[in-house]
Structure 1
Amino acid sequence: MPVVHRLGLTGGIGSGKSSVARLLEARGAEVIDADAISRACTAAGGSAMRAIAETFGPDFVDADGALHRGNMRQHVFTHPDAKAQLEGILHPLIAAQIRLQAGNSNAPCLVFDVPLLVESPRWRPQLDHVVVVDCTQETQVRRVQNRNGWDLATITRVMQQQSTRSQRLAAADIVLFNDGNEMEHLRSLVSDLAGQFGL
């Protein structure tokens, strides 16, 4: 049996984590995207929607039957217990789908793209290495403003929900410093990383 490397990939909002995941996938890694799984669970007809409607009520289901993300985002920011309730619904569903995807993969390297990898202690024992995509907070804010059009207050609230930059760096086995706007530089960093794991 060939060795399968299990990498955890994380980074704060606007760090470039998704770009790194796409580049690794292009090199032959299998990317298991926790955010994509979460979105599928909360789409119309998704496996989480019945429990979300029963727990939070109709204001949190949009006209199509999917999660009303704007209402939920605001609710979670103002009601800390709601975040735990939502995670209690989503996390078991996401974990089951991740196990299924990992078990069905034949790739030489599995990349677990997990935004809250540092915050959740259950992840580290399942991984060979933790890869953190890093940049300054100023760069994070600029990128998210350009990409999402959010105001500074919204970006700051999201960043405060995530682990701090120092916490991510402390958890890292490998750091990709992605502070510029040069895609070629990031591609070079990922190429070096991929080479370490047979990609």
Structure 2
Amino acid sequence: MKVAVGITGASGAIYAERLLRRLLDERAAGRVEQVAVVFTSNGRAVAEFERPEFLSWLAQRVAADEAVEFRNDDFFTPVASGSAGYDALVVVPCSMGAVGRIAGGVTDDLIARAADVMLKERSPMRRRTLILCPRETPLSLIHLRNLTVVCEAGGIVLPAMPSFYTQPQTLDEAVDTVVLRILSLLGLAPEGYRGWQE
């Protein structure tokens, strides 16, 4: 499985960090073939503000060839093409601007193009997965309509809303309730994932 992670300018860089840590664990275990990362310029700025240690950790992983990072303005990357074989794109955190561009089919950056690829390449023979994790509240009617369009097109909207039935004791544990749900939807059945009353 090849997975790309798009990081936009919504608050919540911790979600991207925790997801990437888990995905690289899955890669080390041989369950994921490749992990790619794409930042918007605002996504990188927010990550630098909220989680500067995340960016240095990620740079080390890229330097070690554990992950690959693509520029958001580079359309000559594999995630921009359906023939390149990426199986999933997770946009986390996902700004409402990114949702609007994806819903409208406006592929003016690599994240929007990769999302477009996931939606257009869906077929009974090969299921491409697009997961958007919006981190916004409250939601306007425009936001809700754009999210509906994404769902109708076959995308999955998974708001970055932690669950509490597992009684998380730390911020990381609360964030991981969302991250583990993402991994479950990718079919990775992560260790430690518990559904309701499991």
What is the TM-score when the length of structure 2 is the normalising length?
0.40
Of structures 1 and 2, the one scoring higher in RCO (CA 8 A, sep 6+) is 1
Structure with the largest fraction of helix: 1
Q: Whose radius of gyration is greater, 1 or 2? A: 1
